[in-house]
């Protein structure tokens, strides 16, 4: 420990003699390099040490993003416990701020911009968690030569490298690196799930080595994932299975003008005949995919779909929506205006699935993820260092309306947690909390449902539900989230 305490405040060590043209960063955590911060949670002042902008690999590609902020309750420096946690046992809450598969700088504890309430990191600190927030490269990250540096699998490689840094420094840092709990929403929820699914997989090794990530395990204890935009190579067929026949759409288009002001515009429209044809073709491909997964519900009933898209899997999705409606009803929500829900003696006994989907409404046009004109966020995720965007499905390539190429199969695999859950040579997290709002139409409800079933079928502990009338978002139920994390750690 003494060696680290006397280290220079900057996180840069002398370059090795054989690579004296490159600056190398130290992987050793510097306990002295912090500021003392205070914040108020529920009227109580908390004090914590903020270690910010720590480069977590030896050879970063982009030090704007490959950095981590670490926050530690002050109590842990004088031997005090917070609840049942102390400096040795405190779990490490590991939220990412990734959205839209864009690059993300690490977040920090504070007030949520929209709600004005303490954000997840601040609540975690107040409950005695150590908080480690990692940044990650994203689909638009470029170097000085204009090459893209954040295309798949960069973001997941960065998060893994950050996990390895935490393990590498476990002995000198407060918190228990065997109790890392990842959290994220949307693209960040997808990366949280991917991090949990792919622990220690060799597939990412060459990328981690190149970055100079610590030579440590990168499996994590638990995953919290909200509104995950995941299973990207099947997300189009899952979306059309759910929304086929809904031809009107309403989407939020976010763009930035020349002064980089973000513009949000609600665009309404109706699918063209060509788009309806694409929807029909894509939805027809979904049953084979579901059936190929050979999943069952918790009673062992196979989850399948016939060629019309009906079957036990659809009933299974519906059961989560019904459970959600029941919970809303039990907590006093008036559902009587929703004529498609059947309620008898305070019990939700049925739900007209088609009418429910009409109520949710379509947001995206087919194909929703692998855009046929390569203009979707996900097309850009699968670009290369020199190509802005690519397809990542055979259907997308074959039906492309522009000159295009297909991403490498290995990269498509590396971005999809479903290929890794329970796979040989992979340490998948034991505990999962997955949430998808019942009116979230950014991806199909089938996506988190398949993820949850795949996990459960492989023996992992899954808490999956669909919060009632919740749209695309996350971190809206922090009390319940931290009850769950406290429970699984205990």
Distance from C-alpha of 131 to C-alpha of 16, rounded to nearest angstrom: 32
Nearer to ligand DHB, 256 or 336 (CB): 256
Query: Could you give the C-alpha distances from 242 to 100, 247, 317, 366, in angstroms and in order?
Result: 22, 12, 10, 12
Does residue 186 touch ligand DHB according to CB under 6 A?
yes
Nearer to ligand DHB, 237 or 328 (CB): 237
Nearer to ligand DHB, 96 or 169 (CB): 96
Q: What's the closest the beta carbon of residue 471 comes to ligand DHB, in angstroms?
A: 11
Residues 347-386: x/- map of binding to ligand DHB (CB under 6 A)? ------------------------------x---------
* Helix 273-293, helix 446-457: angle, nearest 10: 10
Footprint (CB under 6 A) of ligand DHB, residues 414-443: 442
Does residue 473 touch ligand DHB according to CB under 6 A?
no
Nearer to ligand DHB, 129 or 239 (CB): 239
Distance from C-alpha of 293 to C-alpha of 291, rounded to nearest angstrom: 5
Nearer to ligand DHB, 186 or 428 (CB): 186
Does residue 156 touch ligand DHB according to CB under 6 A?
no
Nearer to ligand DHB, 216 or 370 (CB): 370
Which window, 95-103, 127-135, 300-308, 314-322, contacts ligand DHB (CB under 6 A)? Answer: 95-103
Query: Could you give the C-alpha distances from 422 to 144, 310, 360, 459, in angstroms and in order?
Result: 40, 28, 33, 8
The structure tokens listed for 271 are: 């699918």
User: Apex CA 481: angle with CA 480 and CA 483, to 5°?
Assistant: 60
Residues 442-471: x/- map of binding to ligand DHB (CB under 6 A)? x-----------------------------
Write down the residue that tokens 């007030």 correspond to. 111
Closest CA to 214 of 176, 165, 256, 180: 165
HEC per residue, 324-354: HHHHHHHCCCCCCCCCCEEEECCEEEEECHH
Q: How far is CA 245 from the centre of its chain?
A: 29
Does residue 229 touch ligand DHB according to CB under 6 A?
yes
Q: What's the closest the beta carbon of residue 379 comes to ligand DHB, in angstroms?
A: 10
> Total residues at the site for ligand DHB (CB under 6 A)?
8
Distance from C-alpha of 381 to C-alpha of 370, rounded to nearest angstrom: 10
Nearer to ligand DHB, 174 or 396 (CB): 396
Does residue 187 touch ligand DHB according to CB under 6 A?
yes
Q: What's the closest the beta carbon of residue 324 comes to ligand DHB, in angstroms?
A: 21
Nearer to ligand DHB, 136 or 229 (CB): 229
Query: What are the residue ranges of helices labelled H in 96-218?
Result: 120-126, 154-168, 187-197, 205-211
Nearer to ligand DHB, 161 or 187 (CB): 187
* Contact status, residue 328 vs residue 336, Cβ threshold 8 Å: no
How many Cα atoms are found within 13 Å in the side-chain-facing hemisphere of 425?
A: 6
Interstrand relation of 176-185 and 130-134 (parallel, antiparallel or unpaired): unpaired
Does residue 100 touch ligand DHB according to CB under 6 A?
yes
Q: What's the closest the beta carbon of residue 229 comes to ligand DHB, in angstroms?
A: 4
Which window, 97-105, 239-247, 256-264, 406-414, contacts ligand DHB (CB under 6 A)? Answer: 97-105
Does residue 232 touch ligand DHB according to CB under 6 A?
no
Does residue 99 touch ligand DHB according to CB under 6 A?
yes
Closest CA to 462 of 411, 412, 417, 424: 417
Q: What's the closest the beta carbon of residue 37 comes to ligand DHB, in angstroms?
A: 28
- Please give the torsion angle defined by the CA atoms of residues 83, 93, 439 and 335, in that order, rounded to the nearest 10 degrees: 0
Which window, 5-13, 93-101, 176-184, 287-295, contacts ligand DHB (CB under 6 A)? Answer: 93-101
Nearer to ligand DHB, 94 or 101 (CB): 101
Contact footprint for ligand DHB (CB under 6 A): 99-101, 186-187, 229, 377, 442
């Amino acid at each position: 420990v003494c060696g680290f305490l006397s280290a220079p405040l900057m996180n840069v060590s002398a370059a090795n003699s054989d690579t004296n043209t490159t600056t190398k960063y130290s992987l050793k955590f510097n306990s002295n390099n912090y500021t003392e911060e205070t914040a108020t949670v529920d009227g109580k002042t908390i004090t914590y040490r903020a270690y910010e902008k720590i480069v977590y690999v030896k050879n970063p590609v982009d030090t704007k993003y490959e950095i981590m902020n670490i926050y530690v309750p002050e109590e842990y420096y004088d031997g005090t416990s917070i609840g049942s946690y102390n400096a040795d046992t405190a779990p490490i809450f590991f939220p990412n701020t990734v959205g839209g598969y864009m690059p993300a700088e690490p977040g920090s504890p504070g007030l949520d911009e929209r709600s004005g309430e303490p954000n997840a990191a601040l609540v975690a600190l107040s409950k005695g968690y150590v908080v480690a927030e990692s940044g990650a490269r994203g689909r638009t990250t470029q170097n000085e030569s204009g090459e893209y540096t954040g295309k798949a699998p960069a973001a997941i490689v960065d998060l893994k490298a950050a996990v390895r840094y935490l393990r590498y420094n476990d002995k000198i840092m407060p918190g228990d690196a065997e109790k890392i709990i990842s959290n994220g929403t949307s693209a960040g929820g997808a990366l949280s799930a991917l991090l949990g699914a792919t622990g220690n997989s060799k597939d990412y090794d060459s990328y981690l080595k190149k970055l100079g990530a610590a030579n440590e395990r990168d499996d994590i204890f638990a995953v919290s994932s909200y509104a995950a935009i995941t299973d990207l190579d099947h997300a189009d067929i899952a979306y059309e299975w759910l929304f086929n026949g809904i031809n009107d759409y309403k989407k939020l288009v976010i763009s930035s003008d020349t002064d980089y002001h973000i513009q949000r515009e609600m665009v309404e429209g109706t699918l063209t005949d060509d788009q309806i044809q694409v929807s029909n073709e894509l939805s027809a491909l979904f049953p084979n995919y579901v059936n190929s997964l050979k999943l069952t519900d918790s009673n062992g009933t196979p989850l399948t779909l016939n060629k019309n898209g009906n079957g036990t899997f659809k009933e299974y999705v519906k059961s989560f929506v019904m459970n959600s409606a029941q919970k809303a009803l039990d907590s006093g929500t008036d559902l009587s205006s929703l004529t498609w829900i059947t309620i008898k003696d305070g019990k939700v006994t049925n739900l007209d699935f088609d009418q429910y989907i009409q109520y949710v409404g379509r947001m995206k046009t087919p194909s929703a993820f692998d855009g046929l004109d390569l203009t979707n966020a996900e097309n850009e995720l699968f670009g290369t260092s020199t190509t802005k965007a690519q397809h990542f499905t055979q259907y997308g390539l074959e039906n492309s309306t522009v000159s295009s190429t297909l991403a490498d199969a290995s990269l498509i695999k590396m971005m999809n947690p479903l290929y890794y859950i329970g796979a040989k040579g992979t340490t998948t997290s034991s505990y999962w909390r997955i949430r998808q709002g019942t009116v979230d139409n950014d991806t199909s409800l089938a996506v988190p449902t398949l993820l949850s079933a795949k996990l459960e079928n492989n023996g992992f502990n899954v808490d999956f539900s669909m919060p009632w009338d919740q749209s695309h978002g996350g971190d809206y139920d922090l009390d319940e989230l931290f009850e769950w994390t406290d429970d699984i750690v205990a």
